[in-house]
């Protein structure tokens, strides 16, 4: 008998029929004697609908009230799943984030979980009930409703599993595991049986939305056994996120390719080439809560230089506005922007022991005539910023060039 947390994403609870199917799967595990805690997302499309609704009323809604609105989707699905479970004779109780007391900080729309009180849940489990918890939401110290950022139900699932010391956290979604890249973009992508936390963290932070990055951080920190599986298949082992790379196996050089469409690039031209200039440009950007990703400062000539960086596309207008103020202040010649950038990254722990990975990546992209506008590397990843229109081509050719199309066994 095990204590299992299962999280079901939006597509998996997208209509009443699917909710009944989830109930059947949960019933199967319950019948085997396992204690079951279920975390749900809102029905697919619902969170987007709620955000759009808010934007119709207010162009710039208060983050506190936005969270009041966008957290409601999950309250619907947890109630419905409990009804479906009761229909098939299983005792079930739903909890909103506040009812569990998933305590978060007060950063509305991107709150961080600080603590989870597992007492109610343990009590219900001991009484033989299935516990169904709303993903994506919590409460702050004074009882305000908060949400955890898009895709945040993954994090609720893993954090709950850590808090109640579950034996396993299973993330059920609309694909049957973590693939070498998004299988919707590259049909030849292969499902991975295992992927290391390190790699999964990079993949998630570089755009693979199959797991929210914070859920992977939690699982790594609290040693939660984490698996990604399909809610549409009866069988299948999915993908296990592992702590260690498998020493018995020859490591592939690259495990996966991640990408993000939502990038924008800003270049400040003719900046005086003197100490403190990066701070003068990026300080005000950071103060406005805009994340900066890749940064390049060119070699100076004639006492001036050019300075480029990327931001998330939704922050582009805000960043450009801030820089208009900065431009006069530092005496830069011109500011240029491009809001249609994308980032492609290759990820793999095997990179550590294989030289020449970067040159193979650059050659592959050059052969397709794809211009690399920015490059950044770490020990286990190489990212390039390119024009968005080449994104799918870039992912496909890299997938092939690094042998990810082929079966390994
Ligand atoms: P859920 O609603 O279940 O949380 P998401 O849409 O958040 O599901 O995440 C699953 C989706 O992630 C898949 O449908 C797939 O298109 C996408 N995805 C991106 N990269 C990968 C990858 N490397 N492996 C698997 N799925 C990926
Ligand atoms: N419903 C939320 C979202 O769409 C949380 C989630 O699905 O994980 O982002
Ligand atoms: Mg998701």
* CB of residue 164 inside a 6 A radius of ligand 2: no
| Res 55 pLDDT > 90 | yes
The percent of residues in the chain predicted with pLDDT above 90, rounded, is 90
Answer with the residue of higher pLDDT: 408 or 341: 341
pLDDT at 248: 60
Q: In the block, which residue shows the tokens 């209509």?
A: 15
Structure confidence by residue, pLDDT tens digits, 188-201: 999 999 999 999 99
Q: How far apart are the CA of 178 and the centre of ligand 1, in A?
A: 8
Q: Which of 173, 233, 262, 348 for mutating ligand 1's site (highest number of atoms within 8 Å of CB)? A: 173
What CA–CA distance (Å, rounded) separates 8 from 30?
16
**What's the maximum distance between 2 C-alpha atoms anywhere in the chain?**
79
pTM, two decimal places: 0.93
Asked if residues 231 and 21 have their Cβ atoms less than 8 Å apart, the reply is yes
The two structure tokens encoding residue 100: 């569990």
How many residues comprise the chain? 409
Ligand 2 atom at shortest distance from the alpha carbon of 10: 7
Structure confidence by residue, pLDDT tens digits, 357-372: 999 999 999 999 999 9
Residues less than 5 Å from ion ligand 3, measured at CB: 9, 151
Q: How far is CA 172 from the centre of its chain?
A: 15
Structure confidence by residue, pLDDT tens digits, 95-134: 999 999 999 999 999 999 999 999 999 999 999 999 999 9
Smallest CA-to-CA distance from 197 within 213, 172, 216, 180 is with 216
* CB of residue 173 inside a 6 A radius of ligand 1: yes
Ligand 2 atom at shortest distance from the alpha carbon of 41: 7
What CA–CA distance (Å, rounded) separates 23 from 193?
26
pLDDT at 244: 73
pLDDT band at 250 (very low <50, low <70, confident <90, very high): low
- Ligand number, closest to the Cα atom of 9: 1
| Averaged pLDDT, 222-229 | 96
pLDDT, averaged across the chain: 95
User: What are 103's strand-pairing partners?
Assistant: 115, 139
Smallest CA-to-CA distance from 396 within 185, 184, 252, 191 is with 185
* CB of residue 10 inside a 6 A radius of ligand 1: yes
Q: How far apart are the CA of 244 and the centre of ligand 1, in A?
A: 23
Smallest CA-to-CA distance from 229 within 181, 184, 191 is with 191
Q: How far apart are the CA of 210 and the centre of ligand 3, in A?
A: 6
pLDDT at 409: 43
β-pairing, 334-347 vs 256-272, is: antiparallel
Query: Which of 30-34, 92-96, 247-251, 373-377 has the weakest average pLDDT?
Result: 247-251
The three-state (H, E, C) secondary structure of the chain, written as one string: CCEEEEEECCHHHCCHHHHHHHHHHHHHHHHCCCEEEEEECCCCCHHHHHHHHHHHHCCCCCHHHHHHHHCHHHHHHHHHHHHHHHHCCCCEEEECHHHHCEEECCCCCCCCEEEECCHHHHHHHHCCCEEEEECCEEECCCCCEEECCCCCHHHHHHHHHHHCCCCEEEEEECCCCCECCCCCCCCCCCECCEEEHHHHHHHHHCCCCCCCHHHHHHHHHHCCCEEEEECCCCCCCCEEEECCCCCCCCCCCCCEEEEEEEEEEEEEEEEECCCCHHHHHHHHHHHCCCCEEEEEECCCECCEEEEEEEEEHHHHHHHHHHHHHHHHHHCCCEEEEEEEEEEEEEECHHHHHCCCHHHHHHHHHHHCCCCCCEEEEECCEEEEEEEHHHHHHHHHHHHHHCCCCCCCC
Q: How far apart are the CA of 211 and the centre of ligand 1, in A?
A: 7
Structure confidence by residue, pLDDT tens digits, 126-180: 999 999 999 999 999 999 999 999 999 999 999 999 999 999 999 999 999 999 9
pLDDT band at 247 (very low <50, low <70, confident <90, very high): low
CA 300 → CA 10, 268, 275, 307, distances in Å? 50, 13, 12, 10
């Amino acid at each position: 008998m095990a204590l299992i947390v299962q999280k079901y994403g939006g597509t998996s609870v997208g209509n009443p029929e699917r909710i009944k199917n989830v109930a059947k799967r949960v019933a199967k595990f319950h019948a085997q004697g396992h204690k079951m805690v279920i975390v749900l997302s809102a029905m697919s499309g619902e969170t987007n609908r709620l955000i759009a609704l808010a934007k119709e009323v207010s162009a710039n809604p208060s983050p506190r009230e936005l969270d009041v609105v966008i957290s409601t989707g999950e309250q619907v699905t947890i109630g419905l799943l409990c009804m479906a479970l009761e229909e098939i004779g299983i005792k079930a109780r739903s909890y909103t984030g506040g009812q569990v007391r998933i305590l978060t900080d007060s950063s509305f729309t991107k709150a961080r979980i600080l603590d989870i009180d597992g007492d109610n849940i343990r009590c219900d489990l001991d009484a033989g009930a299935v516990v169904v918890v709303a993903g994506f939401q919590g409460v702050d110290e004074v009882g305000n409703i908060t949400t955890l950022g898009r895709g945040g139900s993954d994090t609720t699932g893993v954090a709950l599993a850590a808090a109640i010391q579950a034996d396993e956290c299973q993330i059920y979604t609309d694909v049957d595991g973590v693939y070498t890249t998004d299988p919707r973009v590259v049909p030849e992508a292969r499902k991975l049986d295992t992927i290391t936390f390190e790699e999964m963290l990079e993949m998630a932070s570089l755009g693979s939305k199959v797991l929210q990055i914070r859920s992977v951080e939690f699982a790594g920190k609290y040693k939660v056994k984490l698996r990604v599986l399909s809610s549409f298949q009866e069988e299948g082992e999915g993908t296990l996120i592992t702590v260690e790379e498998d020493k018995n196996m020859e490591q592939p050089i690259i495990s996966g390719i991640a990408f993000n469409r939502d990038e924008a690039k800003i270049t400040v031209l003719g900046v005086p080439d003197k100490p403190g200039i990066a701070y003068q440009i990026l300080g005000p950007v950071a103060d406005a809560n805009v994340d900066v990703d890749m940064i390049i400062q060119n070699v100076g000539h004639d006492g001036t230089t050019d300075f480029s960086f990327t931001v998330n596309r939704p922050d582009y207008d805000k960043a450009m506005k801030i820089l208009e103020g900065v431009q006069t202040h530092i005496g830069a010649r011109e500011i240029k922007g491009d809001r249609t950038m994308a980032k492609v990254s290759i990820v793999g722990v095997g990179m550590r022991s294989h030289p020449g990975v970067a040159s193979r990546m650059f050659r592959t992209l050059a052969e397709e005539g794809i211009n690399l506008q920015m490059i950044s590397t770490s020990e286990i990843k190489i990212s390039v910023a390119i024009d968005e229109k080449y994104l799918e081509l870039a992912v496909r050719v890299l997938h092939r060039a690094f042998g990810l199309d082929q079966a390994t066994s």
